[in-house]
Amino acid sequence: MKAKRAISLFLAASMVIGMTACGSSGSQPSASTSTGTPEQAEEEAASSGEVPVLRLATALHTEQTVALEDLWFFKHLEKKFNVKFELEDLGDDPQSRISNFFLADDLPDLVWMPLNTTDAMTYGVGEGMLLDWTPYMNEETMPNLMKALEDYPDALIASTTPDGKVYSLPYIRGPIYANNTGAFSGSIRMNINKEWLDAVGLEKPTTLDEFLDVARAFKEKDPGNVGAELIPVIDNQNKLKDYIWNSLGFYGAGLGSYGFGLAIKNDEIQVPAYSSEAKEFLETLHTMYTEGLVSQDYFTLDSDTMRAKIAAGYVGIFGDSTLQPAENNWEAWDALSPLASDVNDTRVAHVNAGYSIGSYASAKTKYPELIAAITDYMYSDEGGCYYMSGPLKGSEDEVDGNGFWITEDGKVTNSRMEADPVATLTNGNTAWYYIAGRFDHVESYRYELAGAEDPTMYETVTDVLTGKEVELPVTDPSIFDDDNWDHHWRVTQTNAMKDYLTFIVLPSVYLTTEQKETIDDLTTVLDNYITQESAKFIDGSRSLDEFDTYQEELKSMGIEEYRQIYRDAYADFIEATFG
C-alpha cells in the first residue's frame, strides 16, 4: 500500500501553493491581496468588534426531534468562535434546495451536506463557485484536518478533483467492528440455512463449485420437506450475482447485477461484464437456472415475493441486506464467507471505506479562514464528540442541563435519554450526520472527558491483500448477545467475513462534463444490452458458444472507451494503492 504517500505529496504541494500565494493576485481567497479581499473583511470585522455572520445550510437527520435553530451545538460554535449563524434548514429534499442555490449563484457560506461529484466538477472546477480548501490545508490553519488525512490518506484522494483542488472535505467515521465488518460493503450478503446444510451432510462452501454442490443437494434431498415450493437459492437484491462476481476475483464496489459496474481485479479497474470471467459468471447462472437451483421465474420475481418465500421456509440460501425475511426462524441461518473459484484463489470482501465526501463552502464567503477554523474544529476530538454527544454534564459548555454523563455501569446517557427511551445522544445536538469532520474517536473521548475508564473493546482485522492490521472499535457489544434476528445477522456476517477483508475500496470519482456526457450516453446503450443478452445466455435462448461474439459486440458499442474513462479517472488512486 502506498496511499500514505498521497498526504506527503499533498503537503509538499501545499507548501508551494502557500509560497506562490503570497505574491499572487489570483482569485483564490488566500492568494489575493487586493482591496476588499476576504482576509481584509475578517480583519476589519475583528478590529471593529463586528461579529461575523455566516449562512449555514444543512438538514436534520431523521431521528432529530429538535428544530435546527434550537440545537445546542450551533450555540456552542457561536460562543467558541465569536460568530453568528443564519441557519437554513434544507428540509426533506435538500438536493433540490442546493440545486437552486447553485442556479441562483446564491450558495450559503457553508453547506453541511455531502457534495456530489457532479456538482464538484460543475460548480467547483467549472464555475469556480466553491471554495478551494487547499490554501488552508496546512499544519498552522487546519492541524486537526491534516492529522485526520494522515490517518486516512485515501480520504484525501477521494476529495481531490482532477484540477488538484479540494472543494469538499471528508466525513470520517472509520470502520467499525460488527458494523463495517458485519455489514461491510453490503454487496455480497448471502445466508444459508444451517439446519438444511446439516441435514444434507455438507459443510459451508468455500469455492464456487462447492456452492453449486450445496444448492444441488438442497434440490435433490429437500431437507426442509418443502416439496414443489422448494427454491434452493433466491437472488434478492442481486446479492447472488454480486456473490458470483466476487468469487471470480472482483472486489472494491458493488458490481451491478450483470457486471456493468466497476471493480478491481489484478490491481486494475475492470468492468466485469467485459472480461473473460464474464463467461464463467454466465455459465454459473445458466447452470443454476437449467438445473432448477433458482426459480424458473428468476427474471420476474419481485423483492416482496422473494422475501415471502424466504419467510415461508421454501428457500435454503438467500441474499438480502439483513435476516429480516427469516426473522421467524433467524437462529437457523448462518452467513456465507467469500468464495474462491477456478479463476480466483483469493477469498476477499471489501470493508466500507470509513469516510465519504462531506461539507463545502462558497468561494464568495467573506470569512474563509474563520470557516476553515470552524471546520478544523470538527476534526478535533472535542468537536466530533460535542457534535454527536453534546457536552459533559457539569462542564462550562453545558447549557440547561443538556450534558451527558457516565452511569455507574459505564453507559453514556443524558436527560433526554432518561426521559425518553427512544432518544439518543444526538437529540438536541446533531443536525446532519455526514458532514466534514472526524468522528472515529467520539466514543472513547466521552469517557476521557468524564475521567472514566473506557470500556470500548477493539478487534484486530488483518487486510488479506496488504497484510495491514487495523484495530476496529466494537461500538455496540450488545450485538454479540446474538439474541434477535438483527443482532444475529451482524454476528454471523462478522464471523463469516472477518478473515477475508480488505480496506481497499473504490472511492467516488470525478469526471469532467465531457466525460460524464460520454459515460451517460454509453451507459444508456450498454447497460440495457448487457442485461438483455445476459438473460438470454442464462435461460439458454442464446448459446454460450457465442460469448466471444458478444464481447466483440460490447467492444463495438464503446465499452472499452467507457472502461478507459474510469481507468484514467482512478489512475491516482490505483497508483497510490498498488504502486
* Site of grid cell 454459473: 284
3-class DSSP state of 486: helix
Instruction: Specify which residues 341 forms β-bridges with.
Output: 344
Distance, in Å, from the CA atom of 171 to the CA atom of 472, rounded to the nearest integer, reads 17
Sheet holding 360-361, edge to edge: 84-89, 53-58, 110-112, 360-361
Q: What is the pLDDT of residue 309?
A: 97
Model confidence, pTM: 0.83
Q: Which range scores top for mean pLDDT: 183-197, 241-255, 420-434, 466-480? A: 241-255
The C-alpha cell at 316 is 435454503
State phi, psi for 146 to the nearest 5 degrees: -65, -35
Average pLDDT of span 225-248 = 95
pLDDT tens track for 255-309 = 768 999 999 999 999 999 999 999 999 999 999 999 999 999 999 999 999 999 9
Average pLDDT, the chain: 89
Q: What is the pLDDT of residue 22?
A: 39
Q: Residues near 35 by Cβ (< 8 Å), separated by ≥ 6?
A: none
The x, y and z cell numbers of residue 33, run together, are 491581496
Residue 400 has pLDDT above 80, yes or no: yes
pLDDT of amino acid 20: 38
**487 φ, ψ to 5°?**
-70, -40
**Residue 186 predicted with pLDDT over 70:** no
How many other C-beta atoms lie within 10 A of the C-beta of residue 568?
Answer: 14
So what's the pLDDT on residue 298?
A: 93
Three-class DSSP labels, 219-239:
HHHCCCCCHHHCEEEECHHHH
Instruction: Report yes or no: 401 and 40 within 8 Å, Cβ to Cβ.
Output: no
Q: For the residues 59-68, what does the mean pLDDT come to?
A: 88
Give residue 182's pLDDT.
56
Mean pLDDT, residues 340-350 taken together: 95
DSSP H helical segments within 193-321, as ranges?
194-199, 208-221, 239-247, 277-290, 303-311
Better-scored residue on pLDDT, 30 or 451: 451
Q: Is the pLDDT of residue 10 over 80?
A: no
Count of Cβ atoms closer than 10 Å to residue 410 Cβ = 12
Distance of CA 230 to the CA centre of its chain: 36
Burial class (CB in 10 A: 0-12, 13-18, 19+), 317: buried
Residue 179 pLDDT level (bands cut at 50, 70, 90):
low
Report residue 41's pLDDT band, with 50, 70 and 90 as the boundaries.
Answer: low
Q: Tell me: the pLDDT tens digits for 488-519? A: 998 999 899 999 999 898 988 899 889 999 99
Mean pLDDT, rounded, for 45-56:
83
Task: Tell which wins on pLDDT, 26 or 12.
Answer: 12
Cell of 569: 479517472
Residue holding cell 464467507? 337
